[in-house]
Structure 1
Amino acid sequence: MKAVKKWISVTLLMSAAAASIVWQDKPVSAEGQAPVTIYKDGDYAGASQTLDVGFYNVDKLKAVVGNDAISSLKVAPGYRVTLYSDSNYGGWTKTFTADASWVDDMNDEASSLKVEQIGASHAPVTVYSNAPYGGFEQEFGVGDHNVEELKAGVGNDQISSLRVAPGYKVTLYQDYNFSGGSKVFTSDAMYVDDFNDDVSSLRVEAISPLDATGVAVPDNAYSDASKRQLLQNFAPKIWFAQGESYFPSSVEFTFPYVDRYLNPNSGKYEFKTKTTLDPLTLKLPYFTGDLAHAPIYAFWVEKEYNNVDLVYFQFTPYDLGKNVLGTEVGDHVGDWERITVRLAKFADNGVNYVKPVQVYYGAHSFGTTYRWDEVDKVNGTHPVVYSAQGSHGMWKDPGNHVYQELVIDQLTDVTNQGTAWDTWNNVQAFQYYPNEATGNGLGNAWPTWLDKDYTNPDGGAVYHFGNPQVGTFFGQPLFAEGPTGPQEKTALTSDVLLD
């Protein structure tokens, strides 16, 4: 594979629809140190290897530190390193943006890695060999790119996902010389569907970034007030199912009914009910929530590739589990569910715009991403969400959604139009900084329960927002552990992923 290079600038020649491309190899941190140094032993000891921006497969690791041998690492400011458990950038991953004296569960597991510069400029189109946005990658400017160019980079018939900057489109072709079946993308695709591993040439073209979905940034500036306004503009309309008994509230609404205590198992401060749940199915009065005063917790999160994720968290005091063979399983105190709207940022004739391109619907521990044009909306900007009865998983459509097959039963979310919640009428707005693990309020205070100093007895940080797990039933928790909060979710902690 040829050396991975960083895109520095693109000068668009509108008359010829071409681009002038300047490349730069091997950036060096401001302090003069290598972007990343890996070590064979913990606490930065043993054999070491310095790494510049680029890809390092198993053969390069074997040369110094070794395969399955990394135990600690140092990361210069402004860089990130992603470790892969398998060669060829496969398997599970772990990303670091700061020094780690111990790489935890990735110890002696890494067989390949990638070093990137945070916030670096990118070409109009980036393609990846894995989904989503993993494995080998290759960047392309405006123009035609035939099979020979693909072979020198990501590979022929190897593309699985891609990113497209606003103002561009990419056409994938199944055959070389821009022939065979074709598929056009004008925004990011976590998976290229029926073109997966079936692309032998591609064409990148400039288009106008403006269309009916573009929204001018208020006051033409990304101020706190403008960010708050945009968070309100795209806040979802949530339908709770008919017969719903457990509605959202603010976190503070639950304070009179819970204790913040040091969990001896996690070593962190968490919430549990002041009243013992005996039996486990006991329903306390406050579990019904306070919908009339409930806020939607909305986060502005800057992401790579000039994207912004608007992440909307719904908090409910209680989650009703499922009935499995006549037994109620999976109930838990505290529940966080989310929907994310991804915006692409761009400017046209001196005016700043954002353009909604994707929506992520989170349901329990998984979720589904849709294009903006695939989801129903209110007033053109508010995506419609269906919250599952009792368990609150967020879905795009009404109906019965089987989300887990058990040997003895199915776990199903039921959604329909019962009670409506126009969340834009009560938004608590924040900005979160993934690489700093903190944030600030946008027109409202930052609550201490969003902090991450979980071992501080005098602070307010909360790790789990509900009681510990009790028992199991056919592999399912009889009573489930309360969830972690927004500050622990990938939607906020990653500066790349849509989640």
Structure 2
Amino acid sequence: MRKFKLWILVSLIVVMSASGILVKKELAYADDPAPVTVYKDGDFTGTAQSFEVGFHDVNVLRSGVGNDTISSVRVAPGYRVTLYKDAKYSGDSYVLTRDAEWLDYFNDVTSSLKVEIIGAPALPVIAYADSPYGGVEQQFDVGEHNWDVINAGVGNDKISSMRVRPGYKVTLYKDHSFSGASKVLTEDAIYLFDFNDSVSSLKVEKISPVDAKSIAVPGNAYSDVSKRELLEAFAPRIWFAQGEVYFPSSVEYTFPYVDRYLNPTSGKYEHKTKTPLDPYNLKLPYFSGDLANAPIYSFWVEKEYQNIDLVYFQFSPYDLGKTVLGTEVGDHVGDWERVTVRLAKFEDNNTHYVKPVQVLYGSHSFSTVYPWDEVDKIDGTHLVAYSAFGSHGMWKDPGSHVYKDLVVVQLIDVTNQGTAWDTWNNIQAFQYFPNQRTGVGLGNPFPDWLSRDFENEASGAVYRFGNPRQGSFFGQPLLADGPTGPQDKGSLLNDVLLD
């Protein structure tokens, strides 16, 4: 029996807590009952330690594989493990829902971890010690929860972010026994601002989930047609800056000008220009793009806690870097930038609804998240985004945005209202499945270049959409590596976070 690695139901545990009933269904290999096993070396070798569902801090790791020593991980189907760089489930994190024979940039840095069941039932309100939605967590059902209950879980005066399911209201109090200053939440809060680390009691109540922001799902069913309609309904208006010359295009527009080749360094198929680039004269005519025919690549991604992320990727043939001491650095062939609308889905009186909750603006290697009510919109649902001059980083507002301080200069993105692009007029729509690492088209084909079969010559998959790094100026590349595509981004691969 053990040779076949059959899946069996090993337990059904009902746990009573002060917050309600939590049902945990655990599945595991017949010959390896632990949902997650970590290894000190790559390829699942070296000292190993197994973990059940729950939180495992640095002291637990030290008793087994060791702190800052994990290099590979096995994850049983149906489970998720979140690795944290710091103790107490804090710092940078790395989420896995499948085996990883090598942890790349997360190698030898794990100090704590959390194991969860994918799709496990959650109570209406979840409080987290860190923002966004990290660290120690505690779930709450309808009712009153005083400081002693909170202190036994996430901790008194320790809450920094919260999830609130549609149809529920949580009232936070700064003092025990439901007194002192209060704050009401009816949707997720990525950060509690004036109530950060100051909640001592709370009440959870059931309310009507339908409000002015609620939108009935077309046809009252999550069909391919209704998903595409919702992607169109929330697609952004993107303002390009005055004087912009490097506009978006389709990926296919670049095909006559690039070769798909096996990069010996990465071992994966990538794109590079057919015309070699002089590092001091990097511009080719096709870099100007094809805005008139450019699609917005739009992804429907269903995530945990009844969330749906609508992820909108803009592709441009070229990204203009910044000028440092009179020299242009950081340009790269190919550019992917994104904005994301997070929807909460729910049902009321046999009608399916979605409600916009948050918006993410991606800029370079970081992103900023805002509540839906704080962003500008066209016709009530089309969010407004500003694409920075040359570099295309996405911002909520026009202006000058300092995003990095170097020793000799500040790196600044400039945004304003130059050319408007109403992306809903030309979307390429897809549904992406994070745990399967693939997707399907919604009214259009799923292109080969979106595959993750990067090492297969026949697949058409593209790992990087531009030339490798070239030239240097005070340690900064004149031409940076081309970017990886949407299929390699956390926004599609992470099944929980708004990434």
TM-score range, shorter chain: over 0.9
CA displacement at 1:343 relative to structure 2: 0.4
Cα distance in structure 2, aligned partners of 1:427 and 1:203: 43
- Confirm whether residue 433 of structure 1 aligns to residue 437 of structure 2: no
Cα distance in structure 1, aligned partners of 2:106 and 2:320: 35
Cα distance in structure 2, aligned partners of 1:329 and 1:71: 34
Q: In 1, are the aligned partners of 2:28 and 2:34 still within 8 Å (CA)?
A: no
Instruction: Quickly say closer, same or farther: Cα 1:71–1:481, change in 2 above 3 A.
Output: closer
Q: In 2, are the aligned partners of 1:131 and 1:190 still within 8 Å (CA)?
A: yes
Q: Which is worse superposed, 356-365 or 32-41?
A: 32-41
Instruction: Quickly say closer, same or farther: Cα 1:199–1:379, change in 2 above 3 A.
Output: same
Cα distance in structure 1, aligned partners of 2:28 and 2:265: 41
AA in 2 matched with 1:23: L
Cα distance in structure 2, aligned partners of 1:431 and 1:368: 24
Please give the residue correspondences for 1:189-208 in structure 2 after superposition, counting only pairs within 5 Å: 189-208=189-208
- Confirm whether residue 306 of structure 1 aligns to residue 312 of structure 2: no
- 1:91 paired residue number: 91
CA displacement at 1:435 relative to structure 2: 0.8
- Confirm whether residue 29 of structure 1 aligns to residue 27 of structure 2: yes
AA in 1 matched with 2:99: D
Q: Which is worse superposed, 72-81 or 446-455?
A: 72-81
Classify the secondary structure of the residue corresponding to 1:271. strand
- 2:466 paired residue number: 466
Instruction: Quickly say closer, same or farther: Cα 1:219–1:183, change in 2 above 3 A.
Output: same
Instruction: Quickly say closer, same or farther: Cα 1:67–1:364, change in 2 above 3 A.
Output: closer
AA in 2 matched with 1:169: K
Q: Which is worse superposed, 451-460 or 35-44?
A: 35-44
Q: Give a deviation string over 1:136-179, Cα, whole Å, max 9, x none.
A: 10000111111100111011111111111111122222221122
Cα distance in structure 2, aligned partners of 1:275 and 1:108: 40
Q: In 1, are the aligned partners of 2:22 and 2:122 still within 8 Å (CA)?
A: no
- 2:450 paired residue number: 450
Q: In 2, are the aligned partners of 1:132 and 1:191 still within 8 Å (CA)?
A: yes
- 2:238 paired residue number: 238
Q: In 2, are the aligned partners of 1:6 and 1:120 still within 8 Å (CA)?
A: no
Please give the residue correspondences for 1:354-365 in structure 2 after superposition, counting only pairs within 5 Å: 354-365=354-365
- 1:13 paired residue number: none
Classify the secondary structure of the residue corresponding to 2:26. coil
Q: How many residues align?
A: 485
Cα distance in structure 1, aligned partners of 2:463 and 2:427: 23
Cα distance in structure 1, aligned partners of 2:144 and 2:474: 55
Q: In 2, are the aligned partners of 1:259 and 1:272 still within 8 Å (CA)?
A: yes
Q: Give a deviation string over 1:77-104, Cα, whole Å, max 9, x none.
A: 1101112233211233222212234444
Instruction: Quickly say closer, same or farther: Cα 1:412–1:8, change in 2 above 3 A.
Output: farther
Cα distance in structure 1, aligned partners of 2:140 and 2:336: 39
Q: In 1, are the aligned partners of 2:242 and 2:418 still within 8 Å (CA)?
A: yes
Q: Give a deviation string over 1:397-422, Cα, whole Å, max 9, x none.
A: 11111111121111111111111111
CA displacement at 1:71 relative to structure 2: 4.2
What runs of 5+ residues in structure 2 fail to find an aligned partner?
1-11
- 2:225 paired residue number: 225
Q: Which is worse superposed, 30-39 or 446-455?
A: 30-39
Cα distance in structure 1, aligned partners of 2:167 and 2:491: 25
Cα distance in structure 1, aligned partners of 2:171 and 2:382: 30
Q: Which is worse superposed, 251-260 or 363-372?
A: 363-372
CA displacement at 1:459 relative to structure 2: 1.9
- 1:126 paired residue number: 126
- 2:4 paired residue number: none
Please give the residue correspondences for 1:207-286 in structure 2 after superposition, counting only pairs within 5 Å: 207-286=207-286
Instruction: Quickly say closer, same or farther: Cα 1:440–1:180, change in 2 above 3 A.
Output: same
Instruction: Quickly say closer, same or farther: Cα 1:104–1:328, change in 2 above 3 A.
Output: closer
Classify the secondary structure of the residue corresponding to 2:477. strand
- 1:12 paired residue number: none
What runs of 5+ residues in structure 1 fail to find an aligned partner?
10-18
CA RMSD of the aligned region, Å?
2.2
Cα distance in structure 2, aligned partners of 1:199 and 1:472: 51
CA displacement at 1:480 relative to structure 2: 1.4
- Confirm whether residue 315 of structure 1 aligns to residue 284 of structure 2: no
Please give the residue correspondences for 1:68-217 in structure 2 after superposition, counting only pairs within 5 Å: 68-217=68-217
AA in 2 matched with 1:444: N
Cα distance in structure 2, aligned partners of 1:489 and 1:175: 41
Q: In 1, are the aligned partners of 2:279 and 2:470 still within 8 Å (CA)?
A: no
- 1:52 paired residue number: 52
Instruction: Quickly say closer, same or farther: Cα 1:73–1:284, change in 2 above 3 A.
Output: closer
Classify the secondary structure of the residue corresponding to 1:473. coil
Instruction: Quickly say closer, same or farther: Cα 1:266–1:39, change in 2 above 3 A.
Output: closer
Cα distance in structure 2, aligned partners of 1:265 and 1:344: 42
Q: In 2, are the aligned partners of 1:7 and 1:123 still within 8 Å (CA)?
A: no
Cα distance in structure 2, aligned partners of 1:329 and 1:442: 39
AA in 1 matched with 2:428: Q
TM-score (norm. length: structure 2): 0.92
Q: In 2, are the aligned partners of 1:28 and 1:34 still within 8 Å (CA)?
A: no
AA in 1 matched with 2:218: P
- 2:5 paired residue number: none
Q: In 2, are the aligned partners of 1:296 and 1:423 still within 8 Å (CA)?
A: yes
Classify the secondary structure of the residue corresponding to 1:61. helix
Instruction: Quickly say closer, same or farther: Cα 1:473–1:153, change in 2 above 3 A.
Output: same
Instruction: Quickly say closer, same or farther: Cα 1:446–1:256, change in 2 above 3 A.
Output: same
Instruction: Quickly say closer, same or farther: Cα 1:6–1:156, change in 2 above 3 A.
Output: farther
Cα distance in structure 2, aligned partners of 1:138 and 1:305: 14
Q: In 2, are the aligned partners of 1:464 and 1:482 still within 8 Å (CA)?
A: yes
Instruction: Quickly say closer, same or farther: Cα 1:200–1:318, change in 2 above 3 A.
Output: same
Cα distance in structure 2, aligned partners of 1:175 and 1:90: 26
Please give the residue correspondences for 1:36-47 in structure 2 after superposition, counting only pairs within 5 Å: 36-40=36-40, 42-45=42-45
AA in 2 matched with 1:336: W
Q: In 2, are the aligned partners of 1:143 and 1:205 still within 8 Å (CA)?
A: yes
- 2:421 paired residue number: 421
- 2:290 paired residue number: 290
Q: In 1, are the aligned partners of 2:402 and 2:412 still within 8 Å (CA)?
A: yes
Cα distance in structure 1, aligned partners of 2:491 and 2:64: 35
AA in 2 matched with 1:22: I
Q: Give a deviation string over 1:28-70, Cα, whole Å, max 9, x none.
A: 2065533223345554455544432111122333444444444
Cα distance in structure 2, aligned partners of 1:279 and 1:425: 37
Q: Which is worse superposed, 310-319 or 198-207?
A: 198-207
Q: In 2, are the aligned partners of 1:280 and 1:479 still within 8 Å (CA)?
A: no
- Confirm whether residue 324 of structure 1 aligns to residue 330 of structure 2: no
CA displacement at 1:342 relative to structure 2: 0.4
CA displacement at 1:21 relative to structure 2: 4.1
Instruction: Quickly say closer, same or farther: Cα 1:400–1:98, change in 2 above 3 A.
Output: same
Classify the secondary structure of the residue corresponding to 1:230. helix
Instruction: Quickly say closer, same or farther: Cα 1:20–1:284, change in 2 above 3 A.
Output: closer
Q: In 2, are the aligned partners of 1:8 and 1:121 still within 8 Å (CA)?
A: no
Q: Give a deviation string over 1:429-482, Cα, whole Å, max 9, x none.
A: 001111111111111001111111111122211111111112333443222111
Classify the secondary structure of the residue corresponding to 2:491. helix
